[in-house]
Structure 1
Amino acid sequence: MIKIQEIREIIKLIDHSSIDEFSYEAEGTKIKLKKNSLHESSEVIVPQSNYAAPHVVESSTMDATQVTTSPTVKETFANIEVKESVNDESLHKIQSPMVGTFYESSSPDSPAFVQIGDKVSEEGIVCIVEAMKLFNEIEAEVSGEIVEILVKDGQLVEYGQPLFLVKAN
């Protein structure tokens, strides 16, 4: 059975992503989340069990003025910057394979996996993307030199969002 904390984490991830609808069903648990630009809502249905909170329904509604001033909306768009060099066809883009949080190192005390100018191999780890408390090591997929790092440490990233630009060998 899915835990309330896991449900809250899913709601946060969906809220900070461009995903408009999400459904999950397993072992009698059914979760359906829907979101759009002017009207956000999320609904969670958990079957009766021995949990202290057997039924959880979270819902929120925003009007157009709240959407334009909402800090989560502003923060989300501030984190997604389109740069000219991203469109350079001669550079390989290392993209995020999932929605999550980008980390440049394995821990706050460790140095970054890569920096601009570093040489990478196909299997070399360039960063970690954390999704739902799982830390996924992202490989370079190509041998070459890191030309640009397109995201900041701790930034939320979308599926398919370019993370690095690599000048392939």
Structure 2
Amino acid sequence: MSDSKSTPSNVFNVETVRALVELMKQHDLSEVDLREGDQKISLKRGSQAPIYAAPAPMPVAPMQQAAVPVSVAAPAAGGGETAAPSDSHLVAIKSPMVGTFYLRPKPESDPFVRVGDHVSDDTVVCIIEAMKVFNDIKAEISGKVVKVLVKNEEPVEFGQPMFMVDPQG
């Protein structure tokens, strides 16, 4: 009389393992653990340890916002003061993003522009650092720089005026 427990047999033969691997592929399983009596098999697909990719830096496209004319309210009449020349023709160069404003390419360098400098639309007027990316900001208008409204290394907000330019200058 034959007793199945007395004759040890390998229930996890090559054909069984191949069938298990095929089932893992079909059902998109990454791990299978089976036990039959005192025999045990553990199958794992893929790499030994999970690989975590570093998050890709989000590209910050230098969103160039067109220079927008800024209207300045006229002082009330009858104040007895001489009216200052109107600034209504000045155009603001606004920040196209949130970040840190740099007036110089390097701390020891001269500023990109100074009050009185003439700029054209492709003149780089400053750098804004956003998420460790340094973005050249162009004037996008031709004219004379009349005011620098932000100090070097100060934070700027989206749409914040940074320079005032006289397009007639």
- TM-score by length of structure 1 reads 0.49
Would you tell me which structure has more helix in proportion to its own residues? 1
TM-score scaled by length of structure 2: 0.49
Larger radius of gyration: 2
